[in-house]
Structure 1
Amino acid sequence: MDRHKIPRTKELEFGGFLGAFCLLFLLPATVFVLLLTCRTEQASLLNFPLPLPTLRSLWNPQDFALVLAWVGLQALLYMLPLGKLVYFLKQVTEGTVLRDKSRLLYCINGIHAMWITALLVGVGMVAGLRLSYIYDHLLQLAFSATVLAFGLSILLYLKALLAPGTALAPGGNSGNPIYDFFIGHELNPRIGTFDLKFFCELRPGLLGWALINMGMLVKETELRGNPSLAMILVNAFQLLYVVDAFWNEEAILTTMDIVHEGFGFMLAFGNLAWVPFLYSLQSYFLVTHPQKLSLPVAGGIILLNGLGYSVFRSANSQKNTFRRNPVDPKVAGLKTIPTATGRRLLVSGWWGFVRHPNYLGDLIMAFAWSLPCGISHILPYFYILYFTMLLIHREARDEHQCLRKYGLAWQEYCRRVPYRIFPYLY
């Protein structure tokens, strides 16, 4: 492949070069500000100045070794001959096959890795493993994950520059090193058959999120004798989400992250640091700010989470079934719109209700995850506030890609399904 003939990226996102440069510092800073605020008595984002830690207190070689060991364990489980192999056709923005006509082979064994990890953690706890260590060293572990994310991103960028025949990302080939470093210069970087982006997309981050939550539950038990109902709900809701992701791991192969995004700092930091250490913010908050829930309130929160999960899973299952086999009896009766690419767009079922019903379900669940933390602090609601902005931004990017890909068919779909995420609102 002639790298010089690959088109330059013209449409820059996230504020272009300057925005990418600022986000390199703003994203890690956000993680540490929120974690530090969570441990203060007021837990208020308006409570400044925060007690800032020193670099010496954040850097702990033992914690960095633990983070490396965790990622190494997940990499080892990823390479085990378990699960199934799936071919996936690489595509660029317009949906055409890449110039090298290649097909990537993925090992789908995340659910096996999850169960083996759970078994190892369980055996470790019986043998005396103290999971509350995670709470005591959360800042140091987050710093280690951030260092690892920067180091991995540097290696990824150098690999994209130096490796011959590299398939560059359509959105990360601007020619500006800062922007391409942030967005990701290479589309699907691999070492042999080890796909770095696919591995990081779920394995260390989502399992790390569940492990951190468990560490918070153990810490609360040590402090108060037993875990609170609020902590149990947060752990249960978010564990369901993690298990669902691994049970349906193959569906990731059709997401924007795999098909379109390069693998650079944005995804590396997001997967290794942002997801595990900020998505667990509710359980971290509950350790130092316990909440009492009545059974009727807890029941209502459970029903809300169940509603969100039902919408999320039903919508995603409908889409994935249609993509695999449009004549499957489960989706054969749904209305569709033909496109010039040969594919058809669903325009009934969940996908005729709003354009992104899976996002709607995601946001309902996110709200349910925050409610066990009470309503006296805004901090536990950071996740849903951030996630709303993220999904609205992602929805806009996705619709831009779909318009370029499907043209008039997409315009017709938007006419027939006017609401993007929230019915009758947006």
Structure 2
Amino acid sequence: MSSQGSKILRAISYGALVISLGVPFAAYALNLGCSERASNCAQPHADLPVLLLAAILDSQWWKSLWDTQVVLTYAGWYAFCVLAWAVLPSEWMEGLPLRSGGTKKYKINAFSTLLLTLSIVLAWILRFGPDSFTYIYEKFPQFITAALHNSVAQAGFVYAQSFRNGELLALGGHSGNFVYDVYIGRSLNPSWGSLDIKQFNELRPGLILWVLIDISMVCEQAVRRGGFWNVTESLWLVACSQIWYVADCLYNEPAILTTMDITTDGFGFVLSVGDLLWVPLFYTLQARYLVFNQVELGPPATAVIMGLNVLGYYIFRAANAEKNDFKKGINTRNLQYMTTEGGRKLITSGWWGRSRHPNYLGDIIMAIAWCLPTGFNTIFTSFYPIFFAVLWIHRQMRDDDNSPKKYGKDWEKYKKIVPWRIVPYIYRVLANNNSNT
């Protein structure tokens, strides 16, 4: 490698190290800042630095982040997900062709795991009352620690496993730099027997825990307000919208087999911590806020926010279904597409003719709808849609950078047919300030 290349790789590895340390800190900071300890998040702007500094200097706070019972509870939850994967009825589906030849089979029963989990949890709450399921709310920071430990352990395990003979490596994950390769993921499809670790983590422990956390938040508010009938419509709206979103993702589990996460990205710290920590313990920030800042929306505001959420969901689901069916050769008669010199096909009509990533637009709209019930008294819940927008814009740009390698010069032809990146008629205008696409 050239001297310039070594410098670039070193800089990237430093960035990976900063992010690896920064994500756990951000998770603790966001949830500490948006807590009852922080004056109910209502006016944290000036107080947050003082609060964070006080927490960092408080040895008792650091000690409180570790709870052996919570760590064991989280480990038990993960083991339950593995057991459910192994024993519940399922079907095996083939993913897209691998660059090494052939395909890999994936076990599909995430939705069954969700239904089993919900049955157990709802039966428990009916038998023992809502106060019996407030444990996750009460131990929230400790669950961050437990998820973090699991994420780090898995990243180390799959990195070590990637050196096995015959292991298929991710194109961007075997740079030779230890920090970067552990961060981004060296192995493309790490497995434990027939269990695909990446597909399993994408859909089961973190996503279903997201549902359980939302339920715990509803139970906590029900205890405080004297029953489920008294839970605010704002919390019901957030919890039900997010539970529906998770259920839909798990019901449509086969669709994930065509996503970049499965087909292109390695599984390392960034996906591990994203799946197991960031998703369940950051995406529930709005529900946690609404437990102690009990916003009464009223019917008109509830209807508007619900309509926005339905719009986002419709775009998200319709776009993903269209793409997934096209890749499988289903319902393609009404779609126009172009065929590249390499034989690949790119949709140029329907949702994917409107923009190159319409599914991201749906996700961003839903993120806004989940944030609105919390009102505008705090910056913390507003961070969620901002994070989502940055995440999807970055991923879209990364996809655009990689696409010429897959589609060759035909990618430029495609961009002229479908010029809009995420938001039709808007995002291209913004992007043109800095690029020619």
Whether TM exceeds 0.5 here: the answer is yes
Amino acid at match of 1:181: V
What secondary structure does 1:379 align onto? coil
Among 220, 225, 232, the alignment partner of 1:228 is: 232
What secondary structure does 1:120 align onto? helix
Q: Which segment is superposed worse, 255-264 or 401-410?
A: 401-410
The alignment status of 1:283 with 2:287, answered yes or no, reads: yes
Structure-to-structure mapping, 1:43-122, within 5 angstroms: 43=41, 44-47=44-47, 48-50=49-51, 51-52=54-55, 54-91=61-98, 97-98=99-100, 101-122=101-122
Counterpart residue number, 1:180? 181
Counterpart residue number, 1:24? 20
Among 299, 304, 308, the alignment partner of 2:308 is: 304
Q: Distance in 1 between matches of 2:274 and 2:8?
A: 19
Aligned length in residues:
407
> Percent same amino acid at aligned positions?
37
Q: Distance in 2 between matches of 1:219 and 1:155?
A: 36
Q: Which segment is superposed worse, 40-49 or 407-416?
A: 40-49
Looking at both structures, which has the greater relative contact order when contacts are Cα pairs under 8 Å and sequence separation is at least 6? Answer: 1
Counterpart residue number, 1:265? 269
Structure-to-structure mapping, 1:2-401, within 5 angstroms: 16-39=12-35, 40-41=38-39, 43=41, 44-47=44-47, 48-50=49-51, 51-52=54-55, 54-91=61-98, 97-98=99-100, 101-128=101-128, 130-161=132-163, 163-225=164-226, 226-325=230-329, 328=331, 331-401=332-402
Q: Distance in 2 between matches of 1:281 and 1:267?
A: 20
C-alpha displacement of 1:124 = 2.1
What secondary structure does 2:204 align onto? helix
TM-score, normalised on structure 1?
Answer: 0.92
What secondary structure does 1:380 align onto? coil
C-alpha displacement of 1:21 = 0.7
C-alpha displacement of 1:80 = 1.9
* Contact 2:88–2:113, Cα closer than 8 Å, also in 1: no
Counterpart residue number, 1:5? none
Indicate the structure with greater helix content.
Answer: 2
TM-score, normalised on structure 2?
Answer: 0.90
* Contact 2:96–2:257, Cα closer than 8 Å, also in 1: no
Amino acid at match of 1:219: E
Q: Which segment is superposed worse, 72-81 or 257-266?
A: 72-81
Change (3 A) 1:17 1:248: same
* Contact 1:301–1:371, Cα closer than 8 Å, also in 2: yes
Change (3 A) 1:178 1:412: same
**Superimposed CA distance per residue, residues 199-246 of structure 1 (whole angstroms, 9 cap, x where no aligned partner):** 001100110111101101110111122211000000111111101101
Instruction: Return 5+ residue gaps in structure 1 as ranges.
Output: 1-8, 92-96
* Contact 1:45–1:379, Cα closer than 8 Å, also in 2: no
Amino acid at match of 2:271: L
Change (3 A) 1:206 1:132: same
